[in-house]
Amino acid sequence: MLELINIHKSFNNNEVLKGVNIKVKKGDVIVILGPSGSGKTTLLRCINFLERADKGEIIFDDLHVNVRTASAADISKIRKKTAFVFQSFNLFNNKTALENVTEGLIVARKVPKAEATEIAKKALSKVGLSDRENYYPSKLSGGQQQRVAISRAIAVNPDVILFDEPTSALDPELTGEVLSVMKQLAREGVTMVVVTHEMSFAREVANHIVFMADGVVVEEGPPDEIFTNPREERTKQFLSRILPPVDDYVI
Amino acid sequence: MRPFNPLFIPEVFFEVLPFLRVTVLMLAGSLFFGSLLGFILARAKVSGRKASRFIADAYIAVMRCTPPIVLLFIVYYGLPELLLSTAGVNINNIDKGIFVLVTYTLLYGATLSEIMRASYESIDKGQWEAAVSIGLSPFQAFYRIMLPQAAAVALPNLCNVIINLMKDGALAFTIGLIDIMGRGSLIISRNFGAYALETYLALALIYWGLTLIFEKSFSILEKSFSRGKKSLAE
Amino acid sequence: MELDIKFMIDTFFLALTGVPVTLSITAAALLISAPVAFFMAISKIYNIKILKQIITAYVSFIRGTPVVLQILIIYSLLPSLFNTIIRSAGWNINVFDINPIIYAYIVFSINTSASLSEIFRSALLTVNKGQLEAALSIGMSPVQAYTRIIIPQALVSAIPNICNLTINLVKGTSLAFMMTVKEVTAIAKIAASYGYNYIEAYLDILIVYIILCSLIQLLFSMLEKHFGSYRKLTGAAQKTV
């Protein structure tokens, strides 16, 4: 469904993506892991052109673009097929929760208001926030804001939802509510590409892990392979630091 | 000491208030055209090429240092000359108000552009990114998400600018504009210099009153805009 | 459009002779109004009932009326007022011999004190309350706490606003010619009236003010660097990759 081929991206002479390839099939839940600086967020942002890659191609169903020559129309098409959930939520501060969710439908997809409102209400109830419809973002907790952000993403019915460290900015107590929403979405078959440090999510929900370091994909495969039998040394190094040691006896 | 007749002050009010129309018209006009100029300058500074950014920077820096009365006279004496020699257009008979509008548009265009730019830049870019990521076009993202938030931030500064513009506009009478100041100076010359103090006091009271009205209106506007915001008190 | 360049060059140097007058009005206004403004700021912060109301009304009136009107009011009020005082005190001074620059000092001090008091007030409020508490708890008297800890920090944060105020003050002095003060504008205007070279004269005045304004901005940015060196520089936002 979605394929990124040979993506390169530099910021000010610093090459952050050095030729990355990714394939996303419908229904996949792909988790991208890696140390900071590995380029995972940049890769995600290149998919919906929040960053424009320097070189490479993106194939999205029947849409085939060269990132350098992609037109505004192509970008717009891609953005209408995707949705992005940000680390810092980025809810529209001047709109209520409900309005945040209907905005993409009414303005970008010309859905009539009544229909959009209905879709939005369903999306909000799915994340458990029906009672907060008319609240402004400033009156919601971080976890609630992120859940509204997720319902904003699902309301537009995208082919794939991109998550950029969705729980990193949350207090530990609030990450649970967001992760359970994401797990629910995965169970329902929503295609997701997630950059995260939440290993439990990666292990339990993902069907494909991509490990990146220093701008390249070091290793990829199903979770049990990557977590229990990583092939590359770099992968082992990363996992040993992130995961608790297997034999950890409490005396 | 020359007799001071406080009862003269209300008389001045009645004679001068009809000309408030001119004062307000100049204020509104300068604000309108100044905002257009300000938008162009702000855009040049935010997203323009190096050359346009430099020109905008230079223009704003020069205007910041320019005393209003100096610009007023440069425009008043210079504009007719300029138009005459370049385009052969003779504007010696046009309304003094045109010179006033040009002067304050040029001057406050700079101030307004800085306000627009600062308030736009203070809005988290993540808002724009979120908007385009759900499919809004860049223009829609600007117009529906960034602009309303920037406007709310700009409001207090806008209030100051309007009040300053009104006060600077009081100089327009020096080139012969008959606004409340112009009418006031006519009153004084009619009385051969007597009652100058009373007239000036009356005019000062009018300006003070207008300032208070603007301040109150803006504080009401600011309250209605901050419906969704966290106030400092929370 | 022809500009008489020779006239412009000559008048430029002539106009420069008015700069000391401009600067003296600016300096006098700042120096005289500073203690007054500080007093007004403190009174408002400490909520001294009647004083606060008087000050609020005063500041509101001064900031709500054009400088040109303040100049005209003072200029039509003070000479005859002084005259009355002088006559009744029996002094033998001719009011019209008083250098009009005195009136300029008075008007611009009054005007500056109002704006400056607001700048001081907000600057004092930005200083963390904990600074005062810490100073008092190591045994400093309130006066010491203010002069050694609070005020220096408040002043540094106020520097950009004071810079703005000074620039506006300098621009305001361009109106002092209405009181027959021989500052930059007056001198250039007089020179212009001989040959009707108004445009050239006013362009010269503009150039002089641009130079003055740039020097002031330079001065204040140096002040800010020097006095603000104790502050932590906020680094550029981290770029997440």
- Of all residues in chain C, the one with the smallest CA distance to B72 is C202
Amino acid at B137: S
Query: Does A37 sit within 8 Å of C241, measured CB to CB?
Result: yes
Residues whose CB is less than 8 angstroms from the CB of residue C48 and which lie 6 or more positions away in sequence, other chains included: none
Mutate to test the interface with C, among B57, B59, B66, B70 (most CBs of C within 10 A): B70
What is the 3 state secondary structure string of chain A? CEEEEEEEEEECCEEEEEEEEEEECCCCEEEEECCCCCCHHHHHHHHCCCCCCCEEEEEECCEEEECCCCCHHHHHHHHHHEEEECCCCCCCCCCCHHHHHHHHHHHHHCCCHHHHHHHHHHHHHHCCCHHHCCCCHHHCCHHHHHHHHHHHHHHCCCCEEEEECCCCCCCHHHHHHHHHHHHHHHHCCCCEEEECCCHHHHHHHCCEEEEEECCEEEEEECHHHHHHCCCCHHHHHHHHHHCCCCCCCCC
- Of all residues in chain B, the one with the smallest CA distance to A100 is B131
Predicted pLDDT at C145 = 80
pLDDT of residue B29 exceeding 90, the answer is yes
Query: Does B171 sit within 8 Å of C66, measured CB to CB?
Result: yes
Q: Which of A182, A184, A187, A192 is nearest to A161 (CA)?
A: A192
Rounded to a whole number of angstroms, the CA Rg of chain A reads 19
Tell me the domains of chain B and their CATH numbers: 8-233 (1.10.3720.10)
pLDDT of residue C169 exceeding 50, the answer is yes
Predicted pLDDT at C2 = 73
Structure token digits, residue A180: 């359970």
CB–CB of A201/A222 below 8 Å? no
| Dihedral, CA of residue C178, residue C181, residue C183 and residue C186, to nearest 10 | 50
Q: Highest mean pLDDT range out of A195-199, B76-80, B199-203, C80-84?
A: B199-203
pLDDT of residue C149 exceeding 70, the answer is yes
Q: Tell me the average pLDDT across B115-142.
A: 90
What average pLDDT does the structure give for chain B?
88
Choose among C66, C76, C185: nearest Cβ to B70. Answer: C185
C241–chain A nearest CA distance, Å = 5
CB–CB of B150/B122 below 8 Å? yes
Q: Tell me the average pLDDT across C46-58.
A: 89
Q: Tell me the average pLDDT across C3-30.
A: 88
User: Residue A91 to residues A105, A152, B151: CA-CA distances in angstroms?
Assistant: 15, 9, 18
Q: Tokens 């295609």 belong to which residue?
A: A191
What is the 3 state secondary structure string of A12-38? CCEEEEEEEEEEECCCCEEEEECCCCC
Give pTM, 2 decimals.
0.79
Predicted pLDDT at A93 = 84
A33-90 pLDDT, tens digit per residue, is: 988 888 899 999 999 888 889 999 999 988 899 988 888 888 888 888 899 999 988 8
Pairing between β-strand A192-195 and β-strand A160-164 as defined by DSSP bridges:
parallel
Q: Where residue C146 falls among pLDDT bands split at 50, 70, 90?
A: confident
Predicted pLDDT at C234 = 46
What is the helix (H) or strand (E) element at residue C208, kind and residue range? helix C198-227
Q: Where residue B232 falls among pLDDT bands split at 50, 70, 90?
A: very low
* Helices C151-172 + C101-126 axis angle, to 10: 140
B178–chain A nearest CA distance, Å = 44
In this predicted complex, what is the ipTM? Answer: 0.86
Predicted pLDDT at B233 = 40
Q: Which of A85, A145, A157, A68 is nearest to A119 (CA)?
A: A157
Sheet holding A55-60, edge to edge: A14-24, A2-11, A55-60, A63-66
For chain C positions 222-241, those within 8 Å of chain A (CB to CB) are 239-241
Query: Does C81 sit within 8 Å of B1, measured CB to CB?
Result: yes
Residue A123 at interface with chain B, using a CB cutoff of 8 Å: no
Predicted pLDDT at C237 = 33
Residue C5 at interface with chain A, using a CB cutoff of 8 Å: no
Predicted pLDDT at A24 = 92
C-alpha to C-alpha distance for C80 and C78, rounded to whole angstroms: 6
Q: What is the pLDDT along chain A (251 residues), one digit of tens a residue?
A: 899 999 999 998 889 999 999 999 999 999 999 888 888 999 999 998 888 899 999 999 888 999 888 888 888 888 888 999 999 888 888 888 999 899 888 888 888 999 999 999 999 999 999 999 999 888 899 999 999 999 999 998 899 999 999 998 898 888 888 998 999 999 999 999 999 988 888 888 899 999 998 899 988 999 888 888 888 888 888 888 877 666 555 55
Predicted pLDDT at C236 = 36
pLDDT of residue B230 exceeding 70, the answer is no
pLDDT of residue C1 exceeding 90, the answer is no
Q: Higher pLDDT residue, B60 or A95?
A: B60
Predicted pLDDT at B2 = 66
Q: Which of C67, C69, C87 is nearest to C79 (CA)?
A: C87
C-alpha to C-alpha distance for C228 and C126, rounded to whole angstroms: 15
- Residues paired with residue A32 on neighbouring β-strands, in sequence order: A195, A210
Q: Which of A175, A158, A157, A177 is nearest to A167 (CA)?
A: A175
A176–chain C nearest CA distance, Å = 23
Q: Which of A210, A205, A181 is nearest to A195 (CA)?
A: A210
Q: Higher pLDDT residue, C211 or C84?
A: C211
CB–CB of A196/A167 below 8 Å? yes
Residue A134 at interface with chain B, using a CB cutoff of 8 Å: no
For chain A positions 63-122, those within 8 Å of chain B (CB to CB) are 76, 79-80, 82-84, 86, 88, 90-96, 103-104, 107-109
Q: Is A71 exposed, middle or buried (0-12, 13-18, 19+ CB in 10 A)?
A: exposed
Structure token digits, residue C155: 């002043």
Residue C47 at interface with chain A, using a CB cutoff of 8 Å: no
Least confident segment among A26-30, B67-71, C8-12: C8-12
C-alpha to C-alpha distance for B176 and A9, rounded to whole angstroms: 63
Least confident segment among A145-159, B204-218, C121-135: C121-135
DSSP string, chain B: -----TTHHHHHHHHHGGGHHHHHHHHHHHHHHHHHHHHHHHHHHHH--HHHHHHHHHHHHHHHT--HHHHHHHHHHHHHHHHHHHH----TTS-HHHHHHHHHHHHHHHHHHHHHHHHHHTS-HHHHHHHHHTT--HHHIIIIIIHHHHHHHHHHHHHHHHHHHHHHGGGGGGGT--SHHHHHHHHHHHTTTTTHHHHHHHHHHHHHHHHHHHHHHHHHHHHHHGGGSPPTT-
A45–chain C nearest CA distance, Å = 10
| Percentage of residues in chain C having pLDDT higher than 70 | 95
Predicted pLDDT at C68 = 95
pLDDT of residue C11 exceeding 50, the answer is yes
Q: Tokens 């309108």 belong to which residue?
A: B32
Residue A44 at interface with chain B, using a CB cutoff of 8 Å: no
pLDDT of residue B80 exceeding 70, the answer is yes
B169–chain C nearest CA distance, Å = 9
Predicted pLDDT at C56 = 92
CA atoms within 13 A on the CB side of C232: 3
Predicted pLDDT at C225 = 85
| Three-state DSSP state, C228 | coil
